[in-house]
């Protein structure tokens, strides 16, 4: 009996998902053509304004009121420029002005009256028009429009942050960073060869979409239902095991012909705050040389080997980094490496020569986030300094600050980790200091289900150190600087940044 198709389960089929991608790309192209058309001189331009008169927009009433406001202000200005008096016409106006009928009033009084009415009408008209438009385009933002607009503009002028990694660690950091800045670029590893990503990589010849999908959702400003749909994995049929987001990225790649463009289209669909980039467009394979002398190829096999790694390299060895990723690093105010699997999520990005060189030459703050727990096999017995030594051995001196977790962890959770061979990473601060880096000890972990970094605490700790290091900016961005400081101090009062003084 044939398997149950995804359409019968209430989810779109692969063909339907391809159609969704095609329509998204088509709408983007039509939008570009429309913009170019309406910018032409002559008869095309008025249509841009005539569209505002279509019925049902709930905008015409505010346009009429605004026109009346302009008329009233104009009359007020005209009266204010003409000295003398004006006969009062009618008893109603006389009573409103508390004057006897038939008398005259100064032109200045009428000017003030018309100006007040005009300005008040203009404010009401503008407010009504803006709220009507926002309610149609973003209904959930209309209630706190001023506050939402202010913080969105503030985040748009935020620090330029580059986050490098992959797996489950990088999305954790991104969820926290998007609260402070929309100038966030995620550079994601593309060495995954297992599960849905590995299968689509083999069948469609695309880059593995899984880590990219998770980072898109971490930076997205979208409804929970959309995130749930993107993360949903089909349970039956030929798509069993595939995440909807992975299939959609595969479809968008076929439609656009370019994986990076497909990611950009998905970013627009999800209203992503920032940008997500693969570290390279080359289909990489990880090769690990183990401490016992053996060689293991492929991310999945490396993880399953459960042995300590001596050296990691890439195949092909001449793979080049994505130029946009390199440029983002060069322009960054702060670059964050980690958290995440050291050998399968972080180092694959740093092994690309262009990225390693950009990090070495980067003028921004370079932060390495050490994992809270060791990873069985790959980093068994590693201390914080061992993690940094591995980074240096593969990419050179690319770290200024090492952020480590300090504080208690749930003993019951630790028992489960210990049973699987994982241990708390020991912070050997003296050795780190001797390696010439600053140590930033902060309580940034949470034990809510799993022992992992807390998004808000981690982002606040990173940005606190970046702000402290950079110092006051130029006058143009001084307001944003102190607003960011205030938000970080608020996070500290909420307990996000507790920890002893830095070492080293």
For residues 383-408, average pLDDT: 97
Question: What size, in residues, is the chain?
Answer: 504
pTM to 2 decimals?
Answer: 0.74
Residues contacting residue 171 through CB under 8 Å, at least 6 positions apart: 214, 215, 217, 218
Phi, psi values for residue 276, rounded to 5°: -115, 130
For residues 178-188, average pLDDT: 92
The percentage of residues in the chain with a pLDDT greater than 90, rounded to a whole number, is 54
Query: Per-residue confidence at 51, pLDDT binned at 50, 70, 90?
Result: low
Give, to the nearest 10 degrees, the angle between helix 259-270 and helix 244-256: 120
List the one residue out of 387, 445, 390 whose CA is nearest residue 417.
445
What does the alpha-carbon distance between residue 40 and residue 60 come to, in Å, rounded to a whole number?
Answer: 25
3-state class (DSSP) for residue 385: helix
For residues 464-470, average pLDDT: 86
What does the alpha-carbon distance between residue 120 and residue 132 come to, in Å, rounded to a whole number?
Answer: 18
**Per-residue pLDDT tens for 69-88?**
999 998 888 878 876 655 55
Residue 84 pLDDT: 63
pLDDT higher than 50, residue 503:
no
Helices (H), 449-477: 455-470
Q: Is 212 left (phi over 0), alpha (psi -120 to 50) or beta?
A: alpha
Tokens of 73: 């202000």
Poorest-pLDDT segment among 54-58, 317-321, 331-335:
54-58
What are the beta bridge partners of residue 289? Answer: 295, 311
List the one residue out of 159, 339, 167, 185 whose CA is nearest residue 272.
185
Q: For 400, which DSSP code? A: S
**Per-residue pLDDT tens for 421-457?**
999 999 999 999 999 999 999 999 988 778 999 999 9
3-state class (DSSP) for residue 414: helix
Phi, psi values for residue 470, rounded to 5°: -70, -35
What does the alpha-carbon distance between residue 262 and residue 207 come to, in Å, rounded to a whole number?
Answer: 11
Say if residues 126 and 69 touch (Cβ distance below 8 Å): no
**Per-residue pLDDT tens for 109-149?**
778 888 999 999 999 988 888 777 766 665 445 445 555 55
Helix H or strand E segment including 171: helix 169-177
For residues 311-335, average pLDDT: 96
List the one residue out of 180, 244, 256 whose CA is nearest residue 216.
244
Say if residues 212 and 257 touch (Cβ distance below 8 Å): no
Tokens of 411: 């003993």
Tokens of 386: 């061992």
């Amino acid at each position: 009996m044939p398997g149950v198709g995804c359409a019968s389960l209430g989810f779109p089929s692969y063909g339907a998902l391809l159609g969704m991608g095609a329509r998204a790309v088509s709408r983007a192209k039509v939008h570009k053509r429309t913009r170019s058309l309406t910018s032409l001189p002559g008869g095309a331009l008025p249509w841009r304004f005539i569209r505002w008169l279509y019925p049902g927009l709930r905008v015409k009433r505010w346009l009429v009121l605004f026109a009346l406001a302009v008329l009233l202000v104009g009359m007020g200005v005209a009266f204010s420029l003409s000295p003398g008096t004006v006969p009062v016409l009618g008893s109603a106006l006389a009573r409103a002005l508390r004057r006897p009928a038939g008398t005259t009033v100064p032109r200045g009084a009428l000017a003030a009256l018309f100006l007040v009415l005009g300005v008040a009408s203009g404010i009401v008209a503008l407010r009504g028009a803006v709220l009507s438009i926002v309610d149609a385009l973003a209904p959930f933002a209309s209630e706190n429009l001023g506050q939402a607009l202010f913080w969105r503009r503030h985040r748009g002028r935020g620090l330029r942050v580059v986050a490098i990694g992959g797996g489950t660690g990088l999305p954790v950091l991104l969820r926290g960073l998007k609260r402070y800045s929309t100038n966030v670029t995620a550079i994601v590893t593309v060495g995954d060869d297992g599960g849905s990503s590995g299968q689509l990589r083999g069948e469609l010849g695309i880059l593995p979409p899984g880590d990219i999908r998770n980072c898109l959702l971490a930076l997205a400003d979208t409804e929970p239902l959309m995130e749930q749909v993107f993360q949903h994995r089909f349970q039956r049929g030929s798509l069993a095991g595939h995440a909807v987001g992975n299939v959609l990225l595969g479809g968008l790649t076929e439609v656009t012909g370019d994986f990076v463009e497909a990611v950009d289209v998905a970013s627009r669909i999800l209203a992503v705050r920032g940008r997500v980039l693969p570290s390279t467009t080359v289909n990489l394979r990880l090769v690990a040389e183990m401490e016992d002398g053996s060689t293991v190829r492929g991310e999945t096999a490396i993880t399953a080997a459960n042995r300590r790694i001596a050296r990691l390299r890439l195949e092909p060895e001449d793979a080049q980094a994505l130029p946009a990723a390199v440029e983002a690093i060069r322009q960054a105010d702060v670059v964050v490496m980690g958290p995440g699997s050291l050998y399968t999520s972080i180092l694959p990005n740093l092994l690309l020569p262009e990225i390693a060189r950009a990090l070495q030459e980067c003028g921004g703050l370079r932060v390495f986030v050490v994992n809270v727990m060791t990873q069985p096999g790959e980093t068994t017995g590693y201390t914080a300094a061992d993690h940094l030594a591995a980074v240096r051995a593969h990419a050179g001196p690319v770290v200024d600050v090492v952020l480590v977790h300090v504080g208690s962890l749930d003993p019951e959770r630790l028992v489960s980790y210990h049973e699987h061979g994982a241990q708390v990473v020991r912070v050997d601060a003296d050795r780190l200091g001797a390696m010439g880096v600053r140590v930033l000890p902060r309580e940034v972990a949470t034990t809510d289900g799993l022992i992992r970094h807390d998004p808000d605490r981690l982002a606040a700790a990173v940005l606190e150190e970046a702000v402290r290091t950079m110092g006051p900016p130029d006058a143009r961005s001084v307001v944003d600087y102190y607003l960011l400081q205030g938000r970080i101090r608020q996070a500290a009062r909420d307990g996000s940044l507790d920890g002893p003084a830095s070492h080293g």
